[in-house]
Amino acid sequence: FCQSLLQTVFPPELRFASFKLLHRFFSYFSSYYYYDITEIDGVNTNELYNAVQLYLSSSASISGTRLSLTRNLNSSSITYGLTNNDRLIDSYKGVTVEWEHIVTQRQAQTFSWRPLPEEKRGFTLRVRKKNKQMVLGSYLDYVMEKANDLRRRNQDRLLYTNSRGGSLDSRGHPWESVPFKHPSTFDTLAMDPVRKSEIMADLLDFANGESFYQKTGRAWKRGYLLYGPPGTGKSSMIAAMANFLGYDIYDLELTEVNTNSELRKLLMKTSSKSIIVIEDIDCSINLANRNNADGGCRRNSFEIASPPGPNAGEAGANTITLSGLLNFTDGLWSCCGSERIFVFTTNHIDKLDPALLRSGRMDMHIHMSYCSSPALKILLKNYLGYEENDKEQEMLEQLEDVIEEAEMTPADISEVLIKYRRDRRRALDELLAALKAKAEKNKRAKKNGVDVEEEEQEKRALDTPLEDGDVQENCSKCEGEDEAEKMQ
Ligand SMILES: Nc1ncnc2c1ncn2[C@@H]1O[C@H](COP(=O)(O)OP(=O)(O)OP(=O)(O)O)[C@@H](O)[C@H]1O
Ligand SMILES: [Mg+2]
């Protein structure tokens, strides 16, 4: 009755004006500002709405009473969202703000090119007047940044390969991507724990170092060289890095790339927050140490050795030079994107030119070596569920006595543990026997001056059955080149 009375006595304009006056009056005396962030801004989606939804999802998952659950395409994680009129308190650098999620029914729609959703959704941000500047400035930037980070982490990792060499597909992309779900993490990686935490700290420093790189005027990139015998965990380390940082991986097969400009196109099409990997760099780059006329040694010009091209007649080296690669990794091209990690792996660090190894290129050299005692404990724990204070303590001591001399790779040790994983005692006995046999062999070899590693690789190469047209590859896949040429 009152409402209808009001409507008859006061015309709509007067009512609207008085509401506006009242609103002004209250907001003048209120100590808060209110900011509305609607989901649809006109006809476009409001990016800030999505970012707030994602940002609050992490805290909502903890304190929200009624949540909406979503899972995006290509993601294995669930995102929690606030539902109708739910509110959340957030604090940032000592400032408290309140978020409220408002969901209302949309008035019946007149014709619209893009039908709008039935419900009108939005957030209202309540901020103390004195904190307005800080909230509208760094707080909202922080929300956007956290939301981007969450979005990336929620998305599954992608592995990009340049299987087409450097040529572009119909969309102008030189890379092909597949979902990358590699189980390797720093927990599963068997290596010295001290070294492992140094690497993780270095990676975090890099990922959180945007302002440092800006301040020092350095390109926001970092190079890691993983070196060591086959089967020591170099590729596993790369997967662990990607999972640890939530970065995608670009597996760059240099021998598929023909020219420096193709290489540049490939590298410029990589996204930030990614790891660019060149495995077995000593095999992809043929160290051609050329002497110039007067016999002096010109700066090594490296040509990429490549097996004959797709057409039988095409043979010989590509025109990519290592300096072309270094020009990119050195940052000349990092203008097109930052926050990139380069990882080169090799079985033979001694074959690499110091120019490649200097800091600023390969900033951190990581030696993935034969299994040590601390690494063995990690493998026993991961494969057999073995804990330090288990009753087989005496057996562990016997293993530790022989592990260094045996010089066995984690790959070989994992093989023994996998084979007998259902019978822990048997696994430990078999492992001890294998370690003792290897240590014995090393001792004999040292006495006769034989390089066991080389011998093992040749044995492995001979054991691998050759397919038709397959080229025998051994000794870190590159020394065998002359044998390979002979066999062609
Ligand atoms: N340090 C390690 N920790 C845990 N597992 C390992 C480790 N090293 C090797 N492995 C096991 O051995 C297998 C081969 O390891 P990986 O491919 O990482 O070796 P690699 O050093 O890259 O060898 P290559 O030089 O031949 O490429 C992996 O699947 C993994 O299960
Ligand atoms: Mg590898």
Tell which atom from ligand 1 comes closest to the C-alpha of 238. 18
Q: Which of 87, 79, 345, 137 is nearest to 233 (CA)?
A: 345
Q: Is the CB of 185 under 6 A from ligand 1?
A: no
In angstroms, rounded to a whole number, what is the distance separating the alpha carbons of residues 224 and 357?
9
Q: What is the pLDDT of residue 485?
A: 44
From the CA of 409, the nearest ligand is: 1
Residue 126 CA from chain centroid, whole number: 37
Output the six-digit token pair for 40.
Answer: 């649809």
Q: State in Å: Cα 321 to ligand 1 middle.
A: 29
Relative to the alpha carbon of 416, which ligand is closest?
A: 1
SS3 of 112, please?
A: coil
Q: Spell out the residues 6+ positions from residue 61 whose beta carbon is closer than 8 angstroms to its own.
A: 67, 80
Query: Ligand 1 centre from 236 Cα, in Å?
Result: 6
Q: What is the pLDDT of residue 282?
A: 83
The predicted pLDDT at position 63 comes to: 61
The answer, yes or no, to whether ipTM is higher than 0.85 is yes
Candidate from 185, 224, 235, 371 with most ligand 1 atoms within 8 A of CB, to mutate? 235
> Cα of 5 to ligand 2 centre, how many Å?
82
How far is residue 65's CA from residue 98's CA, in Å, rounded to a whole number? Answer: 16
Ligand 1 contact, 229 CB (< 6 A): no
Interval between CA 405 and ligand 1 midpoint (Å): 20
Q: How far is the CA of 233 from the centre of ligand 2 (A)?
A: 7
Q: For the chain, 488 residues long, give each residue's pLDDT as a single digit of tens.
A: 677 776 777 777 777 777 777 777 777 778 899 999 988 877 777 889 888 988 888 766 566 566 677 766 666 666 667 777 788 889 898 999 999 988 888 776 666 666 666 778 899 999 999 999 988 889 999 998 888 888 777 777 899 999 876 666 666 678 988 888 889 999 999 999 999 999 999 999 999 998 888 898 888 889 999 999 999 999 999 999 999 999 999 999 888 888 888 888 888 888 888 999 999 988 876 543 322 233 332 333 343 434 434 443 343 456 777 777 777 677 555 555 678 999 999 999 998 888 888 887 889 999 999 999 999 999 999 999 888 777 778 888 999 999 999 999 999 999 999 999 899 899 999 999 999 999 999 998 888 877 666 666 677 677 666 555 444 444 444 544 444 444 43
Which residue lies with its CA nearest to atom 18 of ligand 1?
233
Instruction: State whether the Cα torsion 251-257-262-263 is positive or negative.
Output: positive
Out of 182, 224, 225, 236, mutate this one to test ligand 1's pocket (max ligand atoms within 8 Å of CB): namely: 236
From the CB of 191, is ligand 1 less than 6 Å away? yes
Instruction: Report whether residue 235 contacts ligand 1, using a CB cutoff of 6 Å.
Output: yes
Residue 346 confidence (pLDDT):
94
pLDDT score recorded for residue 304: 43
Number of other residues whose CB lies within 10 A of the CB of residue 431:
28
| SS3 assignment for 49-88 | HHHHHHHHHHHHHHHCCCEEEECCCCECCCEEEECCCCEE
CB 231 less than 6 A from any atom of ligand 1: yes
Q: How far apart are CA 72 and CA 147, in angstroms?
A: 14
Taking the centre of ligand 1 as the mean of its atom positions, its distance from the CA of residue 374, in whole angstroms, is 16
